[in-house]
């Protein structure tokens, strides 16, 4: 499926691009040359949004043509209790907060058994770093969910949660991943990466694992055959150089362990956080970040435009700026909504299909492993 970008991009009129740095990026992409961090920075700094978008869209087109992918899935946040207390997060609660919740296995299984999604393929399972849950809770949760709907795939637990549960159990993260895999872990989501900068970590998420540790755990998962995703939370206090560094660290990790399936840029939502005075990123910034991700991450197949955080209209636009995937039906999203996301908590499969068609593209349903599913 993956043709060299040059085969599809040759009709992109590189010589009409107004920014010489973007033109140089286009020429490199055409000739199959990898971008440098300086090229990456030029993608973020350019005023030629349309030129950048045309290159990224052509690369997407060279891989997937007119297709855009989605999945019938449900998000499940088993707990909002979290001892990390990151400053960008409106989701976490202390254990004694009135609206703190932690699902029993039975409650989690019931939520999935009663899912409104007709052909549910995947559950995306994430929570906080709860001080009192043990490893049996996590393995039991995976088993209970699998029993609730046999055949379901579980994309569960960020590297942050894996580090937390391994420490609690006094075992290595590798052993922890092995036990989770045996209990039903099929894939890992990309959350918790935030932005790979010690400066920003110290200011916003000092209790969370470092970039090195996040990458190490994903590398371990890849070696066990567990595919993972990656994210970048952007539009708060990070610099463009830090974004570029984040993307290049992911590219380097992927060269080594090859297990990242998708990258999801997450635009910062400030409401109900200690950073509520910040405006969050603009639409132009979001589109540039999607396009730059597609171009820098030449070794990660899928770029998701996460409709929950982008809004439906910008998501449709992002599909023409290098993104090829929308995430899914979701049912009830909490993390972004607590931080002010104005989208619906979930979308029907029909609405996802319509959204893609309205954008002039061809919807293709996929599974957790990005394999296409024949739709009825």
Interface positions with ligand V47 (CB under 6 A): 88-90, 158, 189-192, 194, 229, 231, 233, 264, 266, 268-269, 273, 306, 309, 327, 335-336, 339
* Helix, coil or strand: residue 122: strand
Nearer to ligand V47 by Cβ, of 9 and 339: the residue is 339
How many CA atoms lie within 13 Å of 221's alpha carbon, on the beta-carbon side?
32
**Minimal distance in Å, beta carbon 242 to ligand V47?**
15
In whole angstroms, the minimum distance from the beta carbon of 325 to ligand V47 comes to 9
Q: Which residues contact 245 (CB under 8 A, 6 or more apart)?
A: 37, 196, 197
The residue whose Cβ lies closest to ligand V47 is 191
d(C-alpha 160, C-alpha 128), whole Å: 9
Pinpoint the alpha helices (H) of 158-230. Answer: 159-169, 173-183, 198-204, 211-223
208 beta partners:
none
Minimum CB separation of residue 91 from ligand V47 in Å reads: 6
Tokens of 106: 């039975």
In the DSSP assignment, the letter for residue 46 is: -
Which residue lies nearer to ligand V47 by CB, 14 or 330? 330
Which residues does 98 contact at the CB level (< 8 Å), separation at least 6? none
Question: Tokens 């920014």 label which residue?
Answer: 19
Nearest distance, CB of residue 32 and ligand V47, angstroms: 28
Residue 166: what are its φ and ψ, rounded to 5°? -65, -45
51 three-class SS: helix
Q: How far is the CB of 54 from ligand V47 (least distance, A)?
A: 27
Judge contact between 70 and 365, C-beta under 8 A: yes
What is the closest distance, in whole angstroms, from the C-beta atom of residue 111 to ligand V47 in the complex?
Answer: 18
Nearer of residues 138 and 157 to ligand V47, judged by Cβ: 157
Decide whether 57 or 73 has the Cβ nearer to ligand V47. 73
Spatial separation of the C-alpha atoms in residues 92 and 208, rounded to whole Å: 13
The residue with tokens 């855009």 is 68
Helix then strand then coil, in percent of the chain rounded to 5, is 45, 15, 40
Q: Nearest 5°: phi and psi at 288? A: -65, -40
Give the nearest distance from C-beta 3 to ligand V47 in angstroms. 25
Q: In terms of CB distance, is 70 or 306 closer to ligand V47?
A: 306
Nearer to ligand V47, 149 or 370 (CB): 370
Our CB check for ligand V47 shows the closer of 23 and 75 to be 75
Write down the least CB distance from residue 103 to ligand V47, Å. Answer: 18
Nearer to ligand V47, 3 or 207 (CB): 207
């Amino acid at each position: 499926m993956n043709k060299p970008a040059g085969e599809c991009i040759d009709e992109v009129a590189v010589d009409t691009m107004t920014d010489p740095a973007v033109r140089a990026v286009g020429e490199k992409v055409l000739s199959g040359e990898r971008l440098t961090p300086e090229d990456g920075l030029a993608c973020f700094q350019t005023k030629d949004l349309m030129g950048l978008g045309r290159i990224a869209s052509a690369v997407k087109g060279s891989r997937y043509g007119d297709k855009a992918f989605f999945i019938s899935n449900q998000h499940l946040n088993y707990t909002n209790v979290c001892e990390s207390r990151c400053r960008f997060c409106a989701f976490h609660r202390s254990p004694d907060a009135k609206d703190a919740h932690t699902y029993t296995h039975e409650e989690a299984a019931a939520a999935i058994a009663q899912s409104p999604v007709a052909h549910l393929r995947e559950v995306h399972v994430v929570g906080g770093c709860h001080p009192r849950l043990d490893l049996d809770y996590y393995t039991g949760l995976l088993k209970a969910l699998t029993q609730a709907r046999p055949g379901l795939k579980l994309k569960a637990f960020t590297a942050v949660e894996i580090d937390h549960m391994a420490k609690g159990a006094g075992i290595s993260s590798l052993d922890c991943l092995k036990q989770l895999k045996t209990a039903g872990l099929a894939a890992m989501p990309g959350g918790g990466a935030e932005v790979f900068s010690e400066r920003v970590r110290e200011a916003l998420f000092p209790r969370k694992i470092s970039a090195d540790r996040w990458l190490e755990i994903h590398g371990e998962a890849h070696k066990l055959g567990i595919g993972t995703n990656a994210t970048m939370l952007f539009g708060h206090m990070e610099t463009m150089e830090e974004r570029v560094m984040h993307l290049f660290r992911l590219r380097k990790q992927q060269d080594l362990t090859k297990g990242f399936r998708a990258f999801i840029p997450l635009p910062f939502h400030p409401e109900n956080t200690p950073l509520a005075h910040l405006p969050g990123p603009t639409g132009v910034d979001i589109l540039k970040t999607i396009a730059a991700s597609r171009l820098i991450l030449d070794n990660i197949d899928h770029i998701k435009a996460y409709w929950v955080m982008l809004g439906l209209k910008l998501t449709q636009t992002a599909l023409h700026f290098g993104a090829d995937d929308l995430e899914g039906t979701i049912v009830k999203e909490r993390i972004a909504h607590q931080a002010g996301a104005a989208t619906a908590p979930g979308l029907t499969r029909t609405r996802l299909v319509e959204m893609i068609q309205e954008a002039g593209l061809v919807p293709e349903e996929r599974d957790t492993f990005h394999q296409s599913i024949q739709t009825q």
